[in-house]
């Protein structure tokens, strides 16, 4: 049994950051003999040289911006900031002035181009940049380029430095700050990138005014800026309001600006600010992953993982301060380090054999600046990479990138996502797909409630699909506990639909009676008047057995509904049910059985994604929906059991029969008892009282006798 809460490691050393902004002279390059370079650092160095060296004596194209994401000019300017950055880092590592000269030449060309640039011609519904279609990318360009420039300043003649700063860095900093004031002062990852770019530029070129803007906002009041972002965007546990995908992305500017402050303004201790919230954020992001990939919560690209450059940098900075050997195992997974002293330190420690396994564990990550806006809960069956993980999303809305998915869940097993979340509808940097932007289907499908594994009432998304309304309400976490082989979490929300109270309890159970971890899901909803209740379960795989008598969906397909995401679901058939049913599917060598008990479910609806999608923007994924019509309440108790193994190569199928035979739910005085009947003849009884008092005794009577337990939940025993 894993511990319920990971201990977020003490440590990031005090990064002293205070005093007046002034351009400190960069340290001289410190070339190291190749025999002294640790292997992982040497590999990163070689990879960087392979990118930069062929361009050392070429004329680098600095084109007039014309294309959206994925187009030539977009990708060229991205390559150029990478070139500036990596050439600068190579100069620091080797002392070869050819790298510094490359940075000088490219930046002089930008100094000629930039002052006359208008807003980007392919700007859309985002705030426009000049080099790129959205201002965010301009900020990223400056964050990278100012690092490369600062690394080579000592090797660039004063006259050229003056030209570069006057032609590129000062006007770009002005454009990103006063010229894009709404973005710069926003409490949002776009604002983080902008203020990091401006603040790092201020430190590099010795402009105290730019630094003040970055730290305290444009008006200097502290109502925006770096400190305010640290206060508002992270919870006390390091959870980032927009979710792990954007947490990964935003960590980079937060940490880079903190490093810049460390070098130039000692004594501010930014990484100790708010009890080391940035350190906690790095660990929290790593915990929000499975099999190397981040949980695809909110607007997330599903193949983004812990090997992204932002987390490579975050791990290096955090290790340099904490010396936590568990971070070294993450760096090994990442397969690279940054070209910096911190990166070299990580590589050296790995070479000395100091890496320890990272303690992936069950954890509650509170949401909200004060930790009072729900939580993301991860329940793990163990610390190994292929151990099961249940993710329960009881967080706040997550601003504009948030989805209407309160009390949804995902499940991972054997190294793969089993109960799935769609993530976002976007093909990042694929120009043919809306220039790499978010697609219309992100709004019409991916953000809608039915796209997630949570309750839908009257085929309407939570909060009417309105982000501002969603921001004003969040779930209440009711439980996060573990005892007797049962890890339990639960939450409730009363505002997702008018007049409807929605509660959900979920448990990861690892008991010898079953012999393998299983998931318990208990859903309760009560509403004034009659409603249609839908409970979707999105899965990867192929149904192999259900016992359902499915009708329709063979000779003709029709959309399941007209709005709120239903218009994108093909109705693949419906099966009437009474009191419960079983659905079994097979996926990548494993079998999954979902057994549920409910007198409120009238039918199981099979669906496939892809209706009303003329541009083929959606993946053809599958789900089944437990539907109850004309109900004033809706309760379901379900159990998911992973089991077995299959190999086509070796032609075997093992352990294909589930251990769970049936599920029964009995309620009394507001408490629920779930009886999990096993094929062995044994019964596992789990009680859920919905009462947080840990000492209170609860009792539910069944036809076979009474069961009792204490506290919110527990293993129920026959009452004496």
Q: Do residues 499 and 484 lie in contact, with contact meaning Cβ atoms separated by under 8 Å?
A: no
Q: Please name which of 363, 376, 564, 389 lies closest in space to residue 475, comparing C-alpha atoms.
A: 376
Q: Do residues 139 and 197 lie in contact, with contact meaning Cβ atoms separated by under 8 Å?
A: yes
What average pLDDT score do residues 72-82 get? 97
pLDDT band at 543 (very low <50, low <70, confident <90, very high): very high
From 77, 401, 452, 643, the catalytic residue: 401
DSSP letter at 56? T
Q: Please name which of 681, 678, 674 lies closest in space to residue 700, comparing C-alpha atoms.
A: 674
DSSP letter at 127? P
Q: What whole-number distance in Å separates Cα of residue 693 and Cα of residue 159?
A: 72
What is the structure's pLDDT at 7? Answer: 36
What average pLDDT score do residues 493-513 get? 98
Strand partners, 365: 376
Identify the sign of the CA torsion 363, 364, 365, 370. negative
Q: Do residues 68 and 133 lie in contact, with contact meaning Cβ atoms separated by under 8 Å?
A: yes
pLDDT band at 36 (very low <50, low <70, confident <90, very high): confident
What is the structure's pLDDT at 21? Answer: 40
The end-to-end CA distance of the chain, in Å, is 29
What average pLDDT score do residues 543-556 get? 90
Question: CA-based Rg of the chain, rounded to a whole angstrom?
Answer: 27
What is the structure's pLDDT at 170? Answer: 99
Tokens of 520: 């318990």
Tokens of 145: 């380029």
Show Cβ contacts of residue 204 under 8 Å, excluding neighbours closer than 6 positions. 23, 146, 149, 150, 153, 169, 260
Q: What whole-number distance in Å separates Cα of residue 48 and Cα of residue 340?
A: 12
Tell whether the model's pLDDT for residue 244 goes beyond 60. Answer: yes
Query: Position of tokens 């160095």?
Result: 45
**Run of H or E residues at 566:** none
What average pLDDT score do residues 501-521 get? 98
Higher pLDDT, 17 or 669: 669
- Give the rounded percent of residues in the chain with a pLDDT score beyond 90: 89
Tell whether the model's pLDDT for residue 269 goes beyond 80. Answer: yes
DSSP letter at 656? -
Tell whether the model's pLDDT for residue 435 goes beyond 90. Answer: no
| 3-class SS of residue 490 | strand
pLDDT band at 396 (very low <50, low <70, confident <90, very high): very high
Q: What whole-number distance in Å separates Cα of residue 293 and Cα of residue 310?
A: 14
185-214 pLDDT per residue, tens: 999 999 999 999 999 999 999 999 999 999
Show Cβ contacts of residue 200 under 8 Å, excluding neighbours closer than 6 positions. 142, 143, 146, 147, 150, 214, 256, 257, 260
Q: What whole-number distance in Å separates Cα of residue 233 and Cα of residue 222?
A: 15
Q: What whole-number distance in Å separates Cα of residue 312 and Cα of residue 400?
A: 27
Strand partners, 529: none
What is the structure's pLDDT at 8? Answer: 34
Tokens of 543: 């149904």
Report all structural domains of the chain as residue ranges with CATH numbers, in order of start.
Answer: 7-22+236-360 (1.50.10.100), 33-205 (1.50.10.100), 373-718 (2.70.98.70)
Phi then psi for residue 503, to 5 deg, are -130, 150
655-706 pLDDT per residue, tens: 999 999 999 999 999 999 999 999 999 999 999 999 999 999 999 999 989 9
Is 246 noted as a catalytic residue in this protein? yes
CA 417 to chain centre: 14
Q: Please name which of 292, 310, 302, 311 lies closest in space to residue 427, comparing C-alpha atoms.
A: 302
Is 0.85 surpassed by the pTM of this model?
yes
555-567 pLDDT per residue, tens: 899 999 999 999 9
Tell whether the model's pLDDT for residue 150 goes beyond 50. Answer: yes
598-639 pLDDT per residue, tens: 999 999 999 999 999 999 999 999 999 999 999 999 999 999
Q: What whole-number distance in Å separates Cα of residue 690 and Cα of residue 21?
A: 55
Q: Where are the alpha helices (DSSP H) in 226-322?
A: 226-232, 244-264, 273-287, 309-322
Tell whether the model's pLDDT for residue 717 goes beyond 70. Answer: yes
Buried b (16+ CB within 10 A) or exposed e, 149-183: bbbbbebbeeeebebbbebbbbbbbebbbeebeeb
Higher pLDDT, 123 or 80: 80
Q: What whole-number distance in Å separates Cα of residue 230 and Cα of residue 286?
A: 19
**Run of H or E residues at 493:** strand 486-493
From 114, 246, 438, 566, the catalytic residue: 246
Tell whether the model's pLDDT for residue 11 goes beyond 70. Answer: no
324-360 pLDDT per residue, tens: 999 999 999 999 999 999 999 999 999 999 999 999 9
291-316 pLDDT per residue, tens: 999 999 999 999 999 999 999 999 99
Strand partners, 604: 575, 626
Show Cβ contacts of residue 353 under 8 Å, excluding neighbours closer than 6 positions. none
DSSP letter at 267? T
Q: What whole-number distance in Å separates Cα of residue 501 and Cα of residue 435?
A: 41
Average pLDDT of the chain to the nearest whole number? 94
What is the structure's pLDDT at 321? Answer: 86
408-419 pLDDT per residue, tens: 999 999 999 999
Is 77 noted as a catalytic residue in this protein? no
- Give the rounded percent of residues in the chain with a pLDDT score beyond 70: 95
What average pLDDT score do residues 502-516 get? 97
């Amino acid at each position: 049994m894993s511990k319920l809460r990971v201990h977020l490691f003490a440590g990031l050393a005090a990064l002293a950051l205070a005093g007046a902004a002034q351009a400190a002279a960069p340290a001289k390059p410190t070339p190291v003999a190749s025999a002294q370079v640790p292997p992982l650092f040497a590999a990163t160095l070689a990879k960087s040289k392979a990118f930069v060296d062929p361009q050392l004596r070429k004329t680098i194209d600095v084109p007039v911006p014309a294309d959206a994401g994925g187009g030539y000019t977009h990708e060229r300017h991205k390559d150029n900031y990478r070139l500036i950055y990596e050439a600068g880092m190579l100069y620091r590592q080797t002392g070869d002035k050819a790298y510094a000269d490359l940075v000088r030449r490219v930046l002089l060309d930008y100094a000629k181009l930039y002052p006359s640039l208008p807003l980007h011609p392919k700007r859309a519904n985002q705030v426009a940049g000049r080099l790129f279609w959205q201002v965010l990318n301009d900020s990223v360009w400056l964050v990278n380029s100012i690092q490369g420039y600062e690394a080579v300043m000592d090797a660039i003649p004063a006259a050229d430095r003056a030209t570069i700063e006057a032609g590129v860095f000062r006007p770009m900093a002005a454009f990103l700050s006063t010229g894009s004031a709404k973005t710069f002062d926003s409490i949002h990852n776009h604002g983080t990138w902008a203020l990091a770019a401006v603040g790092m530029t201020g430190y590099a070129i010795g402009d105290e005014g730019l630094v003040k803007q970055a730290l305290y906002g444009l008006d200097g009041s502290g109502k925006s800026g770096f400190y305010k972002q640290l206060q508002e965007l992270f919870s006390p546990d390091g959870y980032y309001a927009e979710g792990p995908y954007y947490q990964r992305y935003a960590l980079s500017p937060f940490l880079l600006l903190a490093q810049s402050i460390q070098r130039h303004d000692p004594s501010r201790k930014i990484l100790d600010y708010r009890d080391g919230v940035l350190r906690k954020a790095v660990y929290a992001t790593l915990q929000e992953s499975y099999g190397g990939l981040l949980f695809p919560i909110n607007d997330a690209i599903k193949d983004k993982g812990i090997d992204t450059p932002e987390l490579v940098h975050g791990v290096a900075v955090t290790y340099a301060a904490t010396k936590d050997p568990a971070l070294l195992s993450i760096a090994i997974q990442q397969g690279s380090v940054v070209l910096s002293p911190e990166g070299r330190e990580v590589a050296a420690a790995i070479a000395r054999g100091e890496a320890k396994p990272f303690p992936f564990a069950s954890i509650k990550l509170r949401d909200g600046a004060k930790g009072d806006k729900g939580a993301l809960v991860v329940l793990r069956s163990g610390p190994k990479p292929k151990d099961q993980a249940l993710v329960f999303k009881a967080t706040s809305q997550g601003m504009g990138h948030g989805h209407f998915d309160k009390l949804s869940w995902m499940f991972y097993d054997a190294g793969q996502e089993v109960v799935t979340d769609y993530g976002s509808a976007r093909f990042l940097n694929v120009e043919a797909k809306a220039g790499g932007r978010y697609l219309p289907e992100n709004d019409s499908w991916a953000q809608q409630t039915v796209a997630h594994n949570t309750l839908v009432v009257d085929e309407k998304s939570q909060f009417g699909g309105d982000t501002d309304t969603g921001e004003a309400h969040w779930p209440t976490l009711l439980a996060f506990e573990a005892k007797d082989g049962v890890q339990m979490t639960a939450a409730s929300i009363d505002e997702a639909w008018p007049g409807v109270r929605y509660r959900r309890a979920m448990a990861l159970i690892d008991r010898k009676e079953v012999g393998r971890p299983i998931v318990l899901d208990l859903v309760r909803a009560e509403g004034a008047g009659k409603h249609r209740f839908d409970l979707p379960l999105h899965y990867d795989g192929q149904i192999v057995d259900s016992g359902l008598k499915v009708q329709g969906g063979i000779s003709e397909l029709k959309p399941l509904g007209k709005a709120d995401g239903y218009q994108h679901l093909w109705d693949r058939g419906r099966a009437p049910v009474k009191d419960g049913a079983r659905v079994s599917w097979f996926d990548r060598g494993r079998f999954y059985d979902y057994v549920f008990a409910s007198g409120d479910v009238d039918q199981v609806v099979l669906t496939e994604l892809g209706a009303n999608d003329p541009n083929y923007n959606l993946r053809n994924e599958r789900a089944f929906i437990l539907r109850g019509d004309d109900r004033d309440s809706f309760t379901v108790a379900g159990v998911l059991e992973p089991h077995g193994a299959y190999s086509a190569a070796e032609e075997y199928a093992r352990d294909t029969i589930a251990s769970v035979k049936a599920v029964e739910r009995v309620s009394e005085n507001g408490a629920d008892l779930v009886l999990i009947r096993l094929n062995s003849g044994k019964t596992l009884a789990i009680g859920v009282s919905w009462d947080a008092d840990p000492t209170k005794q609860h009792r539910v009577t069944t036809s076979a006798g009474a069961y009792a337990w204490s506290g919110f939940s527990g293993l129920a025993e026959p009452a004496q």
